[in-house]
Amino acid sequence: MKNIKIAVLLLFIAGALSSCLETETPEPASILTGEWEVENVMADGEVEFVSMSSLHLNNNGKFLFINVDNFASAGDWQSESTDKLTLTGDDDYIQEYTVAYVDWDKLEIFRAMTIGESTVTIRYLMRRIN
């Protein structure tokens, strides 16, 4: 009887410890939320410039993008999955990005843009600043 009690106690402790070790997959919005500084902008794989622009993705679903020339745009953002980011400006202009890479410190997004008759892929490499 004493051995059964010890075995049950050990199973309970093992179960409690294993549940503590499991990590939850973060929601897409939680890992993207924060302030990001644009480190590099690439067009079709070529480094265009080092930028000091910043993208603020607030946890209330609002965004603020401040360009290197201090031009700002704001609106709503959403991410239904870890590979998509949609910015809808206050002027209803929609920008849909593919998230190539994200972790708690780095973010890489890109989208295709048509300029005249050419289509260019613009890629932003960012680091978290807050």
Question: Mean pLDDT over residues 19-43, rounded?
Answer: 76
| pLDDT tens for each residue of 81-103 | 878 999 999 999 999 999 999 88
Nearest C-alpha neighbor of 61 from the set 75, 72, 48, 40 = 75
Alpha helices, H only, 22-128: 28-32
Tell me if the pTM is above 0.95: no
8 Å CB contact between 104 and 31: yes
